[in-house]
Chain A
Amino acid sequence: MSEARPRGGTRSAPPVGLFVPCYVDQLRPDVGLATLEVLEAHGVQVDYPRAQTCCGQPWLNSGCTRDAAWLARRFVEIFRDYEYVVAPSASCVATLRGHYTKLLGGSADVCARSFELCEFLCDVLGVDRVEGRFAHRVGLHESCHGLRGLRQGGASERVGEPGSKVRRLLASLDAIELTALERPDECCGFGGVFAVEEEAVSCMMGLDRVRDHERSGADVVTSTDLSCLLHLEGLIRRNGAPLQVMHVAQILAGREAVAR
């Protein structure tokens, strides 16, 4: 897998392996592009190893552990030589950091060097302000795996936790207004295989989130996780809610919200 190796940086910035999760790759490629652009705008040298497919999360979560372990080994093989791995998905990164050790029967140090985009900006690059403007009322959907898997912020049930990194980055944009939700971090009900298996509960959970965002006065819903967003978008469109979804990378990259 020679193509998986980094090209050897000539710049001083750390060479980053860009991990674009399979569903982002297939369903909203612009989120991958936006991630790339945000990283490059911060002077990061980025490489996208073509051999990548999936981190194995869907298999892990459905109990097909053997397949998940195979994909985990494959993932580590592809990304092991990068100084950092960055992905526009808290959920996939939480799989690497939270579950690979068990899946692989030993720790892989590349996992500790893997970050969700906002996390990477805040914790590795030390960014506390993103240049740009986004003149919208934005509802932040804190993804469970970002909040409780990666601890990107304090979940409402925990005591003495710091504020959300994602929120802080978004708030630094000009003209943006972040709305206040009644339930700031309730699960949207996507849950991978749950979304189709427990369809009824999943849709009810999602619609409850949509209504909360609507009541908050948001016109854009954003998140670190496209999986949550696609589920919410499906419900928004089916129910004619006056909202649109954008991945946080798209907002940080300066994409315009499309008026619907």
Chain B
Amino acid sequence: MSHVERAADFVADAARAHWHDQALWFVRTRRDARAQEVPEWEELREAASRIKQNTLARLGEHLERFEERAQQLGARVHWARDAAEHNAIVHAILREREVTRVVKSKSMLTEECGLNPFLEERGIEVVDTDLGEYIVQLREEPPSHIVLPAIHIRKEEVGELFHEKLGSPVGLSDPTALTEAARHHLRARFLAAGAGITGVNFGIAETGGIVVCTNEGNADLGTSLPPLHIACMGIEKLVPRARDLAVFLRLLARSATGQAITSYTSHFHGPRPGGELHIVLVDNGRSEILASPEFRRSLLCIRCGACMNTCPVYRRSGGHSYDATVPGPIGSILGPARDARRHSSLPYACTLCGSCDDVCPVKIDLQSELLAWRRELVERGLASRWKRALMGMAGLVMRHERVYGLATRLARRLLAPLPRRLLQRIAAPWARGRDLPEIPSESFRELYARRRRRDPR
């Protein structure tokens, strides 16, 4: 199944699709309001983009510096070439310390690597402690959004889920009560955990510190109770200096959820006394993206999700329609980079409206990368056959004015006498939901020629 079919399934439930669209539009509007409060917003985006681009241009140096400083602070730094190495490293750390219960705060990287099933197969319980992540974990499905993992689920459905899985009272739908119920269950997991796994929002090369942003404080609890903290971090998460955070932290929460700042912005500089901090640096295809001039800027992404919230297609098709770890516009670039065949429909799941380019806090050239992917897919023969055939034929017509004039005149002659219903059937993908425009008897070029004959200049 491609994005087309999955999106059509989602849209078929019109009420749900509208509700989903409204929920995310609300987040987008909040983001707009917070951005408008910062007069230098556009300059801030530009600064962030440049800092990230400079960092990526000398990523090797920054990474080595980061490793050195982090080690000086007492952290252990591990390097993982791919998802398998990442999972093996995390598992080895846990196994050596005989940890069987882990609490994890939100990390798209561990989703990307499939860490949960890997550890569970090896007898380690992993509990996602972010409320949204916890909900989708209980439902045994992937998150549908990188910041709002359960945005596709209504609160009534959460109530049913909690009743079934956690034994909370029937018919619960009040968000506060639901949060209370989850908190009650999570508290026991926090207390029993032998390790806390977190993602990383920013790694700071000059200090060796890492920063984790949450709204629920779950990363803090998960790293304060157990003695072992494993932080999983994509190699593109670095910023050179601590002061760069002044740029990124102002952009991140405003772009993500329309908050001035996340409730918790936690800085970890080495392990806490008596504890251990392991930082796993993961490549998993990032070096390859870095090597490609066309797609390099997709690595600037700070995973705020603003491109999803603004994307009119994402809002109406739901995150799962992308069938990728990261959905939405940025996911439609990262997905094909991972597996072009499997994700070949994603770069086309876009109207090229350009709103993602405008909201992106690090100014990723999303539209032009999506276009570049379309070109790649055509060149590699992965774009749909009918598209290539149709465009190839039409392209020949457009190459010559006479052929164009003749073909279009002929088409009008042939189509004009056909009954409307037959026409609608011929043009089904257009006409199933829309009336066809009337075909005029004359084209502009014909009208113009007549006008000029009448009124020569």
Contacts and interface: CB of A to CB of B under 8 A. Distances in A.
Given A61-B352, A191-B351, A195-B430, A208 B11 contact: no
A85 to B, nearest CB: 16
Contacts of B21: 208
Given A29-B446, A191-B350, A201-B7, 4 more contacts: A64-B388, A200-B11, A201-B349, A234-B437
B351 A144 contact: yes
B435 A233 contact: yes
Interface in A200-218: 200-206, 208
Interface string B272-315: 00000000000000000000000000000000000000101100
Q: What 7 A-B pairs come out closest when comparing CB atoms? A: A234-B434, A191-B351, A63-B374, A32-B444, A148-B354, A187-B353, A29-B444
A107 interface: no
A201 B39 contact: no
Interface in A165-218: 183, 186-187, 189-206, 208
Nearest to B449: A50
A71 B395 contact: yes
17 contacts: A24-B444, A27-B440, A28-B437, A33-B444, A33-B447, A51-B401, A62-B383, A63-B373, A65-B378, A145-B354, A157-B35, A159-B36, A160-B39, A197-B387, A204-B316, A205-B312, A205-B313
B17 interface: yes
A238 B434 CA distance: 6
A26 B444 CA distance: 7
Contact of A159 (B35, B378, B397, B439): B35
Contact of A58 (B42, B391, B408): B391
Contacts of A112: none
A112 to B, nearest CB: 19
Interface in B310-330: 310, 312-313, 316-317
Contacts of A99: 371
B423 interface: no
Contacts of A29: 440, 442-444, 446-447
Contacts of A20: 444-445
Contacts of A200: 4, 7-8, 11-12, 433
B437 A230 contact: yes
A54 B399 CA distance: 9
B25 A183 contact: yes
B404 A196 contact: no
Interface residues of B, number: 82
B375 interface: yes
Contacts of B374: 61-63
Given A159-B36, A191-B352, A22 B398 contact: yes
Contacts of A62: 348, 374, 378, 383, 387, 391
B59 to A, nearest CB: 26
A149 to B, nearest CB: 7
A189 B312 contact: yes
Contact of B358 (A148, A199, A237): A148
Contact of A231 (B8, B373, B434): B434
Contacts of A64: 378, 388, 391-392, 395
Contacts of A70: 395, 399
Given A26-B408, A186-B312, A238 B11 contact: no
Nearest to A55: B398
B362 to A, nearest CB: 15
A200 B449 CA distance: 40
A158 interface: yes
B436 interface: yes
B430 A63 contact: no
A186 B314 CA distance: 13
B247 interface: no
Given A159-B36, A194-B350, A50 B399 contact: no
A140 interface: no
Interface string A56-83: 1011111111010011001000000000
Interface in B416-457: 429-437, 439-440, 442-449, 451, 457
B17, B38, B371, B431: residue with the most chain A Cβ atoms closer than 10 Å: B371
Contact of A155 (B313, B358, B377): B358
Interface of A: 7, 20, 22, 24-29, 31-33, 36, 48, 50-54, 56, 58-65, 67, 70-71, 74, 99, 144-145, 148-149, 155-160, 183, 186-187, 189-206, 208, 230-231, 233-235, 237-238
Contact of B445 (A50, A60, A158): A50
Interface string B349-393: 111111101110000000000010111111100011001100110
Contacts of B357: 148
A234 B436 CA distance: 6
A35 to B, nearest CB: 9
A221 to B, nearest CB: 14
B316 A59 contact: no
Interface in B157-197: none
B442 A158 contact: no
Contact of A158 (B358, B371, B384, B451): B358
Nearest to A21: B444
Contacts of A192: 351-352
Nearest to B451: A33
B391 A191 contact: no
Given A157-B28, A204-B14, A63 B377 contact: yes
Contact of A148 (B36, B353, B383): B353
Contact of A149 (B354, B378, B384, B443): B354
Contacts of A190: 351
Contacts of B36: 159
A27 B435 contact: no
A201 B391 contact: no
Contact of A201 (B11, B353, B378, B408): B11
Contacts of A230: 437
Contacts of A183: 25
A61 B14 CA distance: 28
Nearest to B388: A64
B32 interface: yes
A26 B451 CA distance: 17
Contacts of A145: 352, 354
A13 to B, nearest CB: 13
B399 A74 contact: yes
